[in-house]
A and B are shown apart, each in its own frame.
Chain A
């Protein structure tokens, strides 16, 4: 147990990393612990630490095995040694971390050409399309972690009435696509194969490799490459196809249904 009474377990992730796991679940309590400890480790890394990677309920630490091997007594594995270092920290209260989190409003176009799987949700859940959109946009989502792709934010929780399992086979997904997987939702910052059910698309940039996005965070400069960060709150709001192209600064392609506001 850590100082707050949370139980955890620490397991090796291969020979050069270990994972601290609070319980394989999506919940705010575990995530707060993970993100807090992650920030603490960024400020005060463990000896030999290469980097730390926070997730929903688990925090992974990569370490420099050859460098640490020289330091650690020969009768112990480096894993055991670094596990002790970590556990020692967990017995102490977490360092106060006041990090500015933000509310991000994200415009999403739910028109069918941007939302390949929305009709499937309408059919399976027996809900009108407008109701699916209303449910999706009526909830505040919390960003739990970034992973999978640069700037991909894992968010929750999706209302159970529209929660959908992953697809069996990954498909090609377009940049900006908003997807659902179980009670998670996320936005693809880049084109990629993916298995989430696609319900809309945003014109906003989630990640830009070449120009850092404006960021309210100063503590780590690499954060500026991504729009969303753990702890942020996201609200989706519906936009028309015209709005979508306007935000992108592109003319709306002509064709059936374009240029008409509902």
Chain B
């Protein structure tokens, strides 16, 4: 009654929208890197947007289903296949017992999501299913998925979905999302220590595109920027940092904090990537270029509201299509 890992990937974990409300204890939210794609993937199968999903990096796990399920894939395109036949992202797929899902090649993006109708039968840790790798808690046994793990599905697929005797079925509609795959441009707001940068450093920050280095993971992306000189060496006493915070390290290089970032930090915060661009940022990987553009709060807020409105429309459309399909 599950999703069985028959070969493990490099870093596949259970994630949801994160564990909020405990940062005062040093417990960081974690959660999906790309919550936008994660929510879209859930919506496809009619889940609540924040239901737990499997977040995969490449190379990803190979899974076998031990019973029928309604699933969807979204986020990065890792050229998925079922039983060897290519399947698309952002479609509902009815999979059968013994179907094997695998991923062949990272074509776009860095993280892909698997949602299953009804979610996974796991226990929450501190109000969330997200895997906290450092604490070894949450998600599936507090760790990434390994060979022979069996992630139980919480519910049977709706009785109104008629499965074939064997093999999978891709349902005909696709979520319409606009994802600018090739633009390195990411909007950011100035941070509290932005003014510490020299005029030249500011120009450098805004005019140069930086490469994301291999020292990048779910905690943060290190950039290969030319060291940015700072006008002040006054220590910043530790205080909260956030997903998207761009910190200036003592050697003048930059790190962009991601989902597994620590709760507090003591490096100058020179900028913050706006929330509406977190999804785009999360789909960048080592070797990709990033180009910061400063914006203002008003724009940041407007862009996020537009994104949320689009998600709401998408959710309504997904529910409608799935209901229509089940009536047939």
Bound together, the chains give a CA A150 to CA B264 distance in angstroms of 11
B20 touches A12 (CB 8 A): no
User: With A13-B242, A51-B20, A222-B21 given, is the CB distance from A66 to B264 under 8 Å?
Assistant: no
Q: Does B60 contact A (CB under 8 A)?
A: no
Bound together, the chains give a CA A26 to CA B191 distance in angstroms of 21
CB neighbors of B among A50-66 (8 A): 50-58, 60, 62, 65-66
Q: Does B291 contact A (CB under 8 A)?
A: no
B240 touches A13 (CB 8 A): yes
User: With A60-B240, A66-B305, A207-B135 given, is the CB distance from A14 to B275 under 8 Å?
Assistant: yes
Q: How many whole Å from B12's CB to the nearest CB in chain A? A: 20
B301 touches A15 (CB 8 A): yes
Q: Does A137 contact B (CB under 8 A)?
A: no
Q: Does B81 contact A (CB under 8 A)?
A: no
A53 touches B264 (CB 8 A): yes
Stretch of A17-25, A85-93, A116-124 that contacts chain B: A17-25
User: With A19-B240, A78-B301, A148-B238 given, is the CB distance from A51 to B263 under 8 Å?
Assistant: no
User: With A16-B275, A65-B275, A168-B250 given, is the CB distance from A24 to B238 under 8 Å?
Assistant: no
Q: Does B244 contact A (CB under 8 A)?
A: yes
Bound together, the chains give a CA A56 to CA B269 distance in angstroms of 16
Q: Looking across the interface, which residue of chain B has its beta carbon closest to that of A77?
A: B297
B24 interface neighbour in A14, A25, A38, A190, Cβ under 8 Å = A38
Chain B residues, Cβ within 8 Å of A222:
21-22, 25, 27, 126
B20 interface neighbour in A15, A62, A209, Cβ under 8 Å = A62
B26 touches A149 (CB 8 A): yes
Chain B residues, Cβ within 8 Å of A16:
242, 275
Q: Does A69 contact B (CB under 8 A)?
A: yes
Q: Does B300 contact A (CB under 8 A)?
A: yes
Bound together, the chains give a CA A77 to CA B274 distance in angstroms of 14
Chain A residues, Cβ within 8 Å of B269:
13
A58 touches B308 (CB 8 A): no
A66 touches B304 (CB 8 A): yes
Chain B, residues 120-133, CB within 8 Å of chain A (1/0): the string is 00000110000010
CB neighbors of B among A39-80 (8 A): 50-58, 60, 62, 65-66, 69, 77-79
Q: Does B160 contact A (CB under 8 A)?
A: no
Chain B residues, Cβ within 8 Å of A190:
134-135
Bound together, the chains give a CA A115 to CA B269 distance in angstroms of 32
Q: Does B91 contact A (CB under 8 A)?
A: no
A192 interface neighbour in B22, B134, B236, B264, Cβ under 8 Å = B134
Chain A residues, Cβ within 8 Å of B152:
none
Chain B, residues 1-41, CB within 8 Å of chain A (1/0): the string is 00000000000000000001111111110000000000000
Chain B, residues 128-166, CB within 8 Å of chain A (1/0): the string is 000010111100001000000000000000000000000
A146 touches B26 (CB 8 A): yes
A25 interface neighbour in B137, B189, B237, B242, Cβ under 8 Å = B237
A52 touches B275 (CB 8 A): no
A14 touches B244 (CB 8 A): yes
Chain B residues, Cβ within 8 Å of A78:
301
Chain B residues, Cβ within 8 Å of A24:
234, 236-237
Chain A residues, Cβ within 8 Å of B245:
13-14
Q: Looking across the interface, which residue of chain A has its beta carbon closest to that of B251?
A: A168
A26 touches B237 (CB 8 A): yes
B238 interface neighbour in A12, A17, A154, A189, Cβ under 8 Å = A154
User: With A16-B275, A62-B20, A77-B301 given, is the CB distance from A152 to B238 under 8 Å?
Assistant: no
B20 touches A55 (CB 8 A): no
Q: Does B262 contact A (CB under 8 A)?
A: yes
B240 touches A55 (CB 8 A): yes
Chain B residues, Cβ within 8 Å of A225:
25, 27, 126
Bound together, the chains give a CA A154 to CA B25 distance in angstroms of 11
Q: Does B183 contact A (CB under 8 A)?
A: no
Chain A residues, Cβ within 8 Å of B273:
14
Chain B residues, Cβ within 8 Å of A53:
23-24, 240, 263-264
B263 touches A148 (CB 8 A): yes
B137 touches A145 (CB 8 A): no
A147 touches B297 (CB 8 A): no
Q: Does A210 contact B (CB under 8 A)?
A: yes
B125 touches A14 (CB 8 A): no
Chain B residues, Cβ within 8 Å of A11:
192
Chain A residues, Cβ within 8 Å of B285:
none
User: With A50-B21, A77-B301, A151-B25 given, is the CB distance from A209 to B274 under 8 Å?
Assistant: no
In the complex, besides A69-B304, A145-B264, 5 extra interface pairs with C-beta distance below 8 angstroms are: A51-B22, A145-B238, A150-B28, A189-B26, A222-B27
Could you give 14 example pairs across A and B, Cβ below 8 Å?
A13-B269, A14-B242, A15-B301, A55-B240, A56-B239, A62-B20, A147-B262, A148-B264, A150-B135, A168-B250, A182-B235, A209-B125, A209-B132, A222-B27
The 8 A-B pairs at the shortest CB distance, nearest first, are namely A147-B264, A14-B272, A60-B240, A209-B137, A55-B239, A15-B300, A58-B239, A146-B26
Residues of B that sit less than 8 Å from A by CB: 20-28, 125-126, 132, 134-137, 142, 189, 191-192, 234-242, 244-245, 250, 262-265, 269, 272-275, 297-298, 300-301, 304-305, 308
